C-alpha cells in the first residue's frame, strides 16, 4: 500500500500508526480486515486519508470491521459527496466529515474527526445538541434554515450561516444509530438579503421623507408619463385641481384639466417634452385669482415632472409696486413741471414786486413821511428778501430735479470763476483771500462752483465787525478723497450749532443782524451729499470758522 506523502496536520498518535503501517506493508499482503478498511476510505480525499489513519479501535466506534454496514454506506456516501456532510454515530455522536465540510470547522479541523460532538461544539451545543438527540430518539428529521455559526479560521472569527438537516441513519437492525447531516452554507445569501433589506428600508425612508416634503409643501407637484397620464401628484396639486389624489392618478392630464388646452401651459409642456428642455413660465389662473410660476422638467425615461410655485403674493407686490412707480413717476413729472413753472412764473412776479417797490421808494420815497416811508422801506426789504429766498429754494429743489454730470474739473478754474462772481463784494469788503494750488477733481462743474461760491460768500459776510475778512482756501489729498477747506477769521459759531446750520432754513442770526435765506449751507450739503462727500465745520465762537468738505476721487455714482 502506497501512502501519498503529503503535508498533513496530523493529531498525535497517528504518526505512530503510520510508522506501524509502513512496517506492515513491507511484510506482504494485508490482512483481510485491513482490505475492507482501505476500500471504505479509499479515494475519499484528505478526510478519507485521515479516517484511514485514525485509530478507530481506541474510539467508541470500535474497529471499522465492526461498523454496521449502513453506517459504512453512510461514510462512503459522505466521502464521495461534494456537498459538505457530517455524520454522527452512536450515543456519543462521534463525528466523521468530508473534505467539503472542513472549512466549516475552520481551525478546529482536523481535531474534530472521531470526537464526540458535545466536546467540540461547546458554544452551539445548547442548540444543536437537543436537535441531534431528538433525531436519535425519535428519528424525526430536523431542518435548520440560515443558522448562525461563528467559524474561526486562522485565528479570525467570522459569522457564517448554514442551512442543514439532521436525519437518522439506521443500523443493520433498523435501530437509529446515528445522524446524517448535509449542510449548505448560506452566508452569502443571508448577508446580501440583509443588505438588501437595509437598502430597502433606507430607500423607503428616503421616499417617505421625499413624499412628506412634497406633501407638506404648498407648491403643486405633478409627474406625467409619456402618455400624459398623471403618475404622481402631491396633495396640494390634487386640491388645486379639485380632485382627490386617488382620482387623479392614472388620468390623462389634458382630459382631466381640459381648461389648459390651448394655453401657455399646454404649449410649454409639449415643448418641454418635444425639445427635451426645461421650461419656465408664469401663468394666471383666473378662477382662483392666483399666479403661479410653472417649471417643467422632461424626464429621461419619458414624461414630465412639473412644479407650480405659487407666486400670487409676489405678483401682487410687483403690481402694487408698478402702480406706485407709475404714480410716483407721474407725481414726479408733475412736480418737475410745477417747479419749472414755479421757477419761471413765481420768480417773475416776485421780481416785479421787488422792482416796483424799489421804484416806489426811489422815486416817491422822499415825498413820503413818517410811517408811510417806513412801510415802504419794510415792503422793499421784505420783497427783496422774498426774491432771494425764492431763488434759493428753487436752487435747492433744482438739485433734485436736474441730473448732475460728474466730469474732471479744474478747481483752479472754478476758483477763478468764484472770485469773479464775488468780485463786487470782495472789493467792497476789502477782503484778503489766499489759496494753495487746487487740484483736478471729479465733480459737477456748476454745482461745485455754486458750493465754493456759497462758502466764500458766507466767509465774506460773517467777518469780524470793523475787520476786513481774511480767507484762506486749501485742499489736501486723503485716501480716496480730496478734502477742501475754507477758513476765515470771522465771528465763528458755537460747536452746538455745528450740525444744525446745515439744515434747511437754519439761521443763527436775525434778518436784521445778518441778512440771509438760511438755505446757503443746506444747498452746500445737498451738493456734497450728491457727490458722495462729507461737509462739516470746525469753529470757535469769536475766532473764526473752517468749513471742510470732501469729494471722492472716484465718483460713487453718476447721473444722479
Partner 1 sequence: MSSPTTPPPIRIAVIEDNSDDLYILRKALEKAQVHFEIDHLDNGEAAVHYLLRQGPYANALPPDLIILDLNLPRINGVEVITRMRDDPTGKAIPFIVLSTSHAREDQQKMAELGAIRYLIKSSNLEDFLAVGETIREFLAADGHRETLGTSDDHIRS
Q: Which residues bind partner 1 (CB under 8 A)?
A: 344, 347-348, 350-352, 354-356, 358-359, 362, 383-384, 387-388, 445-446
| Cβ distance to partner 1 smaller for residue 137 or 402 | 402
Q: Least distance in Å: CB of 278 to partner 1? A: 53
CA pair distance 431, 471, nearest whole angstrom:
8
Residue 319, SS3 per DSSP: helix
Q: Least distance in Å: CB of 353 to partner 1? A: 8
| Cβ distance to partner 1 smaller for residue 194 or 344 | 344
| Cβ distance to partner 1 smaller for residue 77 or 360 | 360
Residue 16, SS3 per DSSP: helix
N- to C-terminal Cα separation, the chain: 115
Q: Least distance in Å: CB of 532 to partner 1? A: 22
| Cβ distance to partner 1 smaller for residue 1 or 407 | 407
Q: Least distance in Å: CB of 418 to partner 1? A: 15
- For 170, other C-beta atoms within 10 Å of its C-beta total 15
Residue 512, SS3 per DSSP: coil
- Which residue has 428642455 as its cell numbers? 277
Residue 161, SS3 per DSSP: strand
- For 400, other C-beta atoms within 10 Å of its C-beta total 13
Q: Are 2 and 38 in contact (CB under 8 A)?
A: no
Query: Which residues touch 457 (CB under 8 Å, ≥6 apart)?
Result: 422, 425, 520
| Cβ distance to partner 1 smaller for residue 255 or 410 | 410
CA pair distance 171, 197, nearest whole angstrom:
46
* Residue 369, Cβ density class (10 Å: 0-12 exposed, 13-18 middle, ≥19 buried): exposed
CA pair distance 406, 413, nearest whole angstrom:
16
| Cβ distance to partner 1 smaller for residue 419 or 485 | 419
| Cβ distance to partner 1 smaller for residue 339 or 546 | 339
CA pair distance 358, 306, nearest whole angstrom:
81
Q: Least distance in Å: CB of 376 to partner 1? A: 13
CA pair distance 502, 390, nearest whole angstrom:
18
- Which residue has 402618455 as its cell numbers? 227
Q: Least distance in Å: CB of 270 to partner 1? A: 58
CA 357 to chain centre: 75
Q: Least distance in Å: CB of 347 to partner 1? A: 6
Q: Least distance in Å: CB of 352 to partner 1? A: 5
Radius of gyration of the chain (CA): 56
CA pair distance 58, 341, nearest whole angstrom:
133
Among 1, 55, 60, smallest CA distance to 28 is for 1
Q: Least distance in Å: CB of 453 to partner 1? A: 12
Q: Least distance in Å: CB of 292 to partner 1? A: 52
| Cβ distance to partner 1 smaller for residue 339 or 446 | 446
| Cβ distance to partner 1 smaller for residue 324 or 364 | 364
* Residue 155, Cβ density class (10 Å: 0-12 exposed, 13-18 middle, ≥19 buried): exposed
Q: Say if strands 470-478 and 432-435 run parallel, antiparallel, or are unpaired.
A: parallel
| Cβ distance to partner 1 smaller for residue 283 or 353 | 353
Amino acid at each position: 500500500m502506497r501512502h501519498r506523502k503529503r503535508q498533513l496536520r496530523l493529531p498525535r498518535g497517528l504518526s505512530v500508526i503510520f510508522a506501524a503501517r509502513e512496517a506492515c506493508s513491507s511484510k506482504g499482503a494485508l490482512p483481510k480486515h485491513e482490505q475492507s478498511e482501505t476500500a471504505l476510505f479509499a479515494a475519499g480525499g484528505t478526510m478519507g486519508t485521515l479516517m484511514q489513519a485514525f485509530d478507530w479501535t481506541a474510539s467508541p466506534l470500535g474497529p471499522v470491521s465492526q461498523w454496521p454496514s449502513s453506517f459504512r454506506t453512510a461514510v462512503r456516501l459522505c466521502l464521495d459527496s461534494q456537498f459538505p456532510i457530517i455524520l454522527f454515530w452512536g450515543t456519543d455522536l462521534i463525528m466523521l466529515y468530508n473534505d467539503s465540510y472542513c472549512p466549516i470547522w475552520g481551525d478546529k479541523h482536523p481535531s474534530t474527526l472521531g470526537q464526540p460532538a458535545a466536546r467540540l461544539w461547546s458554544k452551539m451545543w445548547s442548540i444543536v445538541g437537543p436537535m441531534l438527540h431528538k433525531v436519535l430518539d425519535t428519528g424525526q428529521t430536523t431542518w435548520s434554515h440560515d443558522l448562525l455559526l461563528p467559524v474561526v479560521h486562522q485565528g479570525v472569527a467570522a459569522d457564517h450561516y448554514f442551512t442543514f438537516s439532521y436525519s437518522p441513519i439506521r443500523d443493520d437492525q433498523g435501530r437509529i444509530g446515528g445522524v446524517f447531516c448535509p449542510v449548505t452554507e448560506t452566508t452569502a445569501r443571508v448577508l446580501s438579503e440583509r443588505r438588501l433589506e437595509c437598502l430597502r428600508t433606507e430607500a423607503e425612508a428616503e421616499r417617505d421623507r421625499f413624499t412628506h416634503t412634497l406633501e407638506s409643501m404648498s407648491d403643486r407637484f405633478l409627474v406625467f408619463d409619456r402618455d400624459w397620464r398623471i403618475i404622481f401628484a402631491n396633495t396640494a396639486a390634487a386640491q388645486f385641481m379639485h380632485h382627490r389624489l386617488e382620482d387623479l392618478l392614472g388620468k390623462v392630464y389634458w382630459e382631466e384639466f381640459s381648461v389648459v388646452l390651448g394655453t401657455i401651459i399646454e404649449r410649454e409642456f409639449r415643448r418641454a417634452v418635444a425639445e427635451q428642455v426645461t421650461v419656465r413660465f408664469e401663468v394666471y389662473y383666473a378662477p382662483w385669482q392666483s399666479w403661479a410660476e410653472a417649471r417643467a422638467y422632461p424626464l429621461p425615461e419619458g414624461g414630465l415632472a412639473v412644479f407650480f410655485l405659487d407666486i400670487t403674493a409676489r405678483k401682487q407686490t410687483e403690481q402694487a409696486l408698478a402702480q406706485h412707480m407709475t404714480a410716483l413717476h407721474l407725481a414726479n413729472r408733475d412736480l418737475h413741471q410745477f417747479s419749472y413753472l414755479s421757477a419761471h412764473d413765481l420768480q417773475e412776479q416776485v421780481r416785479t414786486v421787488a422792482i416796483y417797490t424799489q421804484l416806489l421808494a426811489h422815486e416817491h420815497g422822499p415825498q413820503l413821511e413818517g410811517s408811510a416811508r417806513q412801510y415802504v422801506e419794510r415792503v422793499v426789504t421784505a420783497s427783496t428778501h422774498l426774491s432771494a429766498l425764492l431763488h434759493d429754494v428753487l436752487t435747492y429743489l433744482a438739485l433734485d430735479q436736474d441730473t448732475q454730470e460728474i466730469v474732471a474739473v479744474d478747481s483752479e478754474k472754478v476758483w477763478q470763476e468764484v472770485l469773479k462772481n464775488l468780485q463786487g463784494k470782495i472789493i467792497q469788503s476789502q477782503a484778503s483771500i489766499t489759496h494753495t494750488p487746487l487740484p483736478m477733481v471729479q465733480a459737477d462743474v456748476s454745482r461745485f462752483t455754486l458750493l465754493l461760491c456759497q462758502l466764500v460768500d458766507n466767509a465774506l459776510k460773517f467777518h469780524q465787525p470793523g475787520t476786513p475778512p481774511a480767507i484762506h482756501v486749501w485742499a489736501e489729498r486723503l485716501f480716496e478723497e480730496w478734502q477742501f477747506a475754507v477758513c476765515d477769521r470771522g465771528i465763528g459759531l458755537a460747536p452746538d450749532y455745528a450740525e444744525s446750520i446745515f439744515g434747511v432754513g437754519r439761521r443763527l442770526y436775525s434778518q436784521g443782524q445778518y441778512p440771509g435765506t438760511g438755505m446757503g449751507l443746506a444747498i452746500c450739503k445737498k451738493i456734497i451729499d450728491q457727490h458722495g462727500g462729507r461737509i462739516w465745520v470746525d469753529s470757535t465762537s469769536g475766532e473764526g470758522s473752517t468749513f471742510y468738505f470732501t469729494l471722492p476721487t472716484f465718483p460713487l455714482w453718476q447721473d444722479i
